């Protein structure tokens, strides 16, 4: 009878040990799956961050190349652009100082001397811009930035998503 009780107790202990073992294995499998999923998510995030950084570098290169390409356009383009920009500026500022890059100073001087509507304008010191003009009123209270980089920034902001979609899809 004692032997039967001992065997019964041992059977129960073995059954509980087997159940604990199965439960521990299931918990270990869940923990392993959870850890693997976390590591995969972290790796995906790192890859996505690297891709986004590479795309940003590429977009910055495209921006710089675009600005350089506009700056490298023929002199006739710059003369026409400056003429149009000066006419536009004259509608807002009647008398002022025109700043442009070193390359375009003679062009701006020629346009100002040629157009009567720009008689209140004088060419000021050169500025570090790729092209275009910056016009400052005589009293210094109003400044118009018609530089190529400002126009490109406006276009860039409005079309960045479209450009990104074209480049990266």
Shared-domain flag, residues 22 and 63:
yes
Report the 10 Å Cβ neighbour count for 13: 10
Number of independent structural domains in the chain: 2
Residues 83 and 114 in one domain: yes
Answer yes or no: do 79 and 147 share one domain.
Answer: yes
Structure confidence at residue 21 (pLDDT): 96
| Residues 62, 89 within the same domain | no
47 lies in the same domain as 15: yes
- Encode the chain (169 residues) as per-residue pLDDT tens digits: 888 888 999 999 999 999 999 999 999 999 999 999 999 999 999 999 999 899 889 888 988 898 889 888 999 999 999 999 999 999 999 999 999 999 999 999 999 999 999 999 999 999 999 999 999 999 989 999 999 999 999 988 888 778 777 777 7
Based on the fold, state whether residues 104 and 148 are members of the same structural domain: yes
Nearest-10 crossing angle of helices 2-71, 148-168: 140
Spatial CB neighbours of 90, under 8 Å, sequence gap ≥ 6: 117, 118, 121
For residues 95 and 14, what is the distance between their CA atoms, to the nearest angstrom?
Answer: 100
pLDDT at residue 109, rounded to an integer: 96
The answer to whether the pTM exceeds 0.75 is: no
Supply the range of the domain harboring residue 83: 74-154
């Amino acid at each position: 009878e004692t032997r039967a009780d001992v065997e019964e107790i041992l059977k129960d202990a073995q059954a509980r040990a087997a159940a604990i073992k199965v439960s521990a294995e299931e918990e270990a499998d869940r923990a392993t799956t959870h850890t693997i999923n976390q590591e995969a998510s972290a790796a995906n995030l790192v890859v996505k961050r690297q891709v986004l950084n590479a795309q940003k570098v590429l977009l910055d290169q495209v921006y710089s190349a675009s600005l350089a390409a506009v700056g490298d356009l023929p002199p006739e383009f710059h003369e026409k652009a400056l003429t149009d920009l000066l006419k536009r500026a004259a509608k807002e500022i009647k008398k002022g100082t025109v700043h442009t890059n070193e390359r375009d100073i003679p062009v701006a001087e020629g346009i100002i001397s040629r157009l009567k509507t720009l008689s209140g304008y004088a060419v000021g010191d050169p500025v570090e811009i790729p092209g275009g003009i910056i016009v400052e009123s005589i009293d210094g209270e109003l400044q118009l930035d018609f530089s190529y980089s400002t126009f490109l920034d406006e276009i860039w902001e409005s079309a960045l998503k479209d450009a990104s979609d074209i480049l990266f899809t």
